[in-house]
Amino acid sequence: MMISPDMFIEQIKNATYMELIKERKRLIRTINKYEKDEISEDHSGPEWLIRPSPDVRYQMYLEYLSKLCSFMCQKYNEEYVHGERKLSEDAKAQK
């Protein structure tokens, strides 16, 4: 069973902005993989034996991505546009 998009955001609400960027990239990679496999009609992987099925997970990941992008927009506005933080400095600090 998958969690709701709102619960997904609840679980990551205290993440740093850089961590949110990583999560966004992870979701996009997963979405891209499903689309590639679906376009090529490749249903041979073990993920097709897991419930919920990949097509259901795909739809949920799209919902997660939508909520995540909205949350990132809000967080970026608060911390970087109206706040004192700089994305370039946070990226350098993470290296």
Q: What angle do CA 66, 67, 73 make, to 5 degrees?
A: 95
| Model confidence, pTM | 0.87
Residue 47: what pLDDT? 81
Residue 1: what pLDDT? 77
With a cut of 70, which residues of the chain have pLDDT below it?
95
Residue 65: what pLDDT? 98
Residue 72: what pLDDT? 96
Residue 91: what pLDDT? 79
Q: Which residues contact 84 (CB under 8 A, 6 or more apart)?
A: none
CB–CB of 34/58 below 8 Å?
A: yes
Residue 27: what pLDDT? 98
Extract the tokens encoding 51: 């419930």
